[in-house]
A = this chain, B = another copy of it.
Amino acid sequence: MHPAYRRLLREVTEITLLQSVQSLLAWDQETCMPSRAAPTRESQSALLAKNTHQRLVAPEMGELLETLREVDRHGQLDPEQAAHLREVRRAHHRGKRLPGELVEQLARARARGVQTWLRARRQRDFELFAPVLREMVSLQRQVANAYGYEESVYDPLLDEYEPGMTCRQMEVVFGEVKGKLIRWVASCEAVVEVKKSLEAVEIPSAPQQAALANWAARAIGFDFQRGRLDESVHPFTLGISSRDVRLTNRFSWADPVRVVLATLHEAGHGLYRQAIDPKYDGTLLGQPTSCGMDEAQARLWENMIGRSRAFWTFARRRMQKLLGGDNGLAVADEIHDRINGVRPSPVRIDADEVTYNLHIILRFEIERELLAGGIDVEELPSLWNRRMEEYLGVYPRDDAEGILQDIHWADGCFGYFPTYTLGNLYAAQIFAAACADLPHIEAQIERGCFAPLRRWLREKVYRHGRRFTATELMVRATGKPPSSESFLNYLKAKVSLKSGRRRSV
């Protein structure tokens, strides 16, 4: 190993350790921290963030990276070292470009944004939120300008979550799916009746929900010696290291099926993190390659597995045993039909697989136009509602159900939404490739045997961490660059399957 690279490793190991401690602070804040400890926690997190940032952008780090660029030019780094150098350079240069003052302004605006958004949503009144959103849009433009861009002011923001992705590429992707999805939604019967049998069941108690969640995560192979599952208000997953992955779930769902789907989602994130090659520990390669790829692993287990007939053939009996009753889980087909019904709703997190991406497209279009200065904040609610009607045929009752439903803009996460759709696309394409390689996958899932799929995913996707870009990884795993083809085929099969079934009733 080149001595300069060894020095880089030593420094980056400490930086990633500091970041892992920040993750633990964040996890504790959402799961354990006493309510009144918030001010101390804010100071602890801010201090570690400052220390991490200082080390990342230090002039010595800059010099070391320049040295290593030369070393790399002379072919003295192996491909993994070169990939790691790429990631550290990226983090260093992005970190250096943001002036400290802007970082602070942004942090304050985010804190104020979230507080104001909460109040505005409670009062169902966008007017309250409008001023802070206007300020946030302006700050996001400053951030984009600080990072710099060639084509679109949206690019450097998107690049934060999906490295290398551009606004133009996203427009192509969304262009391919938007028309088809709108047509499919219009052609589906608007509401699939929810089985009465299911509404009548008793709501599982919190300990029963915890047991269900633990069972589901364990069933698909989440390793509880290297992770845990706790309760939080909003489900999330945090990888402190590949040896310490923390899932959370709400234990207050009315529907046991929803508990399991939410768990499969988080455990999908968790399986990814637990299977990243341990040789990447202490490097920037030891994390998901992009938010879209991370989301894909969650959606694959939640949707391709969790919404399949095969899964419920396996799962419903175990769940009945855990819940000690019928609980509307008697017939796998009924569960399957219910969770695959196409039901346009104004609320993204209630969306089925067909309508979900139309929610994303709407947000992407609006935030792109906002940043480009094409629309004013005041016009947003009516624009939102008009498009919702156009794409989904539904009209929000009020701002809380409309423009105020998501936290992302309040929290300064412009450019994040598209990664949800990328995740869906990646997931379908990866799952199609897995099915081609695993001819008996359906029978295996019906038996609760997930190891073959997990092994395939580990080998093709998980273990590589950030070694490859998302596009490189897709080519390696599926033989093709990412596209919307598999996703549209997958959805089309579901839509026609359902029409077929409905006719036969």
Contact = CB atoms under 8 A, between A and B. Distances in A.
Interface majority SS (helix, strand, loop, mixed), chain A: helix
Contact of A28 (B28, B36, B41, B225): B28
A17 B32 contact: no
Interface in A13-43: 13-14, 17-18, 20-21, 24-25, 28, 32-37, 39-41, 43
Contact of A44 (B17, B44, B47, B245): B17
Contact of A47 (B18, B43, B245): B18
Interface residues of A, number: 34
B241 A34 contact: no
Interface string A33-66: 1111101110110011001000000000000000
Contact of A24 (B28, B39, B225): B28
A227 B34 CA distance: 5
Interface string A206-244: 000000000000000000111110000000000011011
A48 B240 CA distance: 16
Contacts of A36: 225-226, 243-244
Nearest to A41: B244
A53 to B, nearest CB: 14
Contacts of A243: 34, 36-37, 39-40
A275 to B, nearest CB: 14
B17 A228 contact: no
Contacts of A281: 40
A187 to B, nearest CB: 48
Contacts of A43: 13, 17
Contacts of A13: 43
A225 B39 CA distance: 13
A36 to B, nearest CB: 5
Contacts of A17: 40, 43-44, 47
Nearest to A207: B207
A354 to B, nearest CB: 38
A21 B37 CA distance: 13
Contact of A32 (B32, B224, B226, B241): B32
A266 to B, nearest CB: 15
A99 to B, nearest CB: 22
B20 A226 contact: no
Given A17-B43, A17-B44, A244 B33 contact: yes
A236 to B, nearest CB: 16
B47 A224 contact: no
Interface string A277-318: 000010000000000000000000000000000000000000
B48 A21 contact: yes
Nearest to A21: B44
Contacts of A224: 34
Contacts of A25: 21, 24
A44 B32 contact: no
Given A36-B226, A36-B243, A243-B36, A21 B21 contact: yes
Interface string A337-372: 000000000000000000000000000000000000
Given A224-B34, A244-B34, A40 B20 contact: yes
Given A34-B243, A34-B244, A36-B244, 20 more contacts: A13-B43, A14-B47, A17-B43, A18-B47, A20-B44, A24-B25, A24-B28, A32-B32, A32-B228, A33-B244, A34-B228, A34-B245, A35-B225, A36-B225, A37-B240, A37-B241, A37-B243, A40-B240, A40-B244, A41-B244
